[in-house]
Amino acid sequence: MTQPNTSYQGNKIELYLRSTILFAWIMFTPFIFSPLVIACTPFPFWVRYKIANVWVGSILWVAKVCCGIHYEVEGLEHIKDIRAAVVLCKHQSAWETLALRMILPPQTALLKRSLLWLPLWGWALATLKPIAIDRSQQRAALRVLLQKGSQYLNEGLWVVVFPEGTRTAPGEVKKFNAGGAMLAERSGYPAIPIALNSGQYWPRYSFLKYPGTIKVKIGPAIATAGRKANDINAEAAQWITNAMAEL
């Protein structure tokens, strides 16, 4: 299903051609990068991480050159001196699952376990310390998030969580799940709220990608020591809601 960008007034044929180039790059380059990542399994994690980031960087570069998708980040000063944190991010698009790897320090993310079953790409992803869960088993999924998340935070990795659980259309708001906030409460690491408008240019479920500048807004760190998950979650949700209104 393709979601049209009603503000786009350009050449539709050119839009399809440019989007096709990006789609082809995303589909075929894993056959190059995934074997490299898998082959580096005996080496330290950082080697595999850097190779994966080269692939991510190449996608964002093609998106910029071919589709005219740029991005701006506001609030980097809020994360300057933070060793590790739990990121609670708005989720509108597949774009942020890639771009956050270039914007934030080394990280892991909460994701569906079934993604690891995909040939090559999923196998490579499995070597990058993901927090893979079965969403149909909510209690077990929460245990995995709290256990693995705390472990990776202590190793110096940031943990990215999309509290809405799924991609939302621009203007749509869903209830924030408290799993990420519970991880922040248990681990004591700060929570970092992030708002963005990626769905305007890289819509969910859409083949077409529209030119423009995605804005990413990073909020001040939310202190978690001595606080309950519900309070942390509510503060993050409120900050993101306010930031989205500004975007």
> What residue ranges define each of the domains in the chain, with the CATH number in brackets?
69-246 (3.40.1130.10)
User: How far, in Å, CA of 86 to CA of 150, rounded?
Assistant: 10
Is 178 exposed, middle or buried (CB count within 10 Å of its CB: 0-12, 13-18, 19+)? Answer: buried
Residue with tokens 């819509």: 203
Give every CB contact of residue 108 below 8 A, 6+ residues apart in sequence: 128, 129, 130, 131, 148, 152, 157, 158, 159, 160
Element (H, E) at 214: strand 212-218
User: Exposure string (b/e) for 89-116, b if CB count within 10 Å is 16 or more?
Assistant: bbbbbbbbbbbbbebbebbbbbbebeeb
Nearest to 98 by CA among 245, 214, 231, 236: 214
The string of pLDDT tens digits covering residues 18-62 is 999 999 999 999 999 999 999 999 999 999 999 999 999 999 999
Reading across the β-sheet that carries 158-161, which strands appear in turn? 69-74, 212-218, 191-196, 86-89, 158-161, 107-112, 131-133
pLDDT at residue 150 in the model? 97
CA atoms within 13 A on the CB side of 123: 13
For residue range 75-93, what is the model confidence (pLDDT) as tens digits? 999 999 999 999 999 999 9
Question: What does the pLDDT read at residue 122?
Answer: 95
Q: What pTM was computed for the model?
A: 0.94
Amino acid at 109: A
Greater model confidence, 17 or 10: 17
The strand ranges marked E within 48-198 are 69-74, 86-89, 107-112, 131-133, 158-161, 191-196
pLDDT tens figures, 172-220: 889 999 999 999 999 999 999 999 999 999 999 999 999 999 999 999 9
- Distance from chain centroid for Cα 231: 23
d(CA 246, CA 203) in angstroms, rounded, equals: 19
Instruction: Summarize pLDDT for 119-162 with one digit per residue, the tens.
Output: 999 999 999 999 999 988 989 999 999 999 999 999 999 999 99
Residue 9: the pLDDT is: 81
Interacting residues of 78 by C-beta distance below 8 A, sequence separation 6+: 192, 218, 219, 220, 221
Average pLDDT, the chain: 94
DSSP for residue 177: P
β-strands 212-218, 158-161 pairing:
unpaired
Q: How confident is the model at residue 1 (pLDDT cuts 50, 70, 90)?
A: very low
Residue 2 has pLDDT above 50, yes or no: no
Separation in Å, CA 73 to CA 9, 85, 194, 198:
26, 18, 10, 12
Residue 6 has pLDDT above 70, yes or no: no
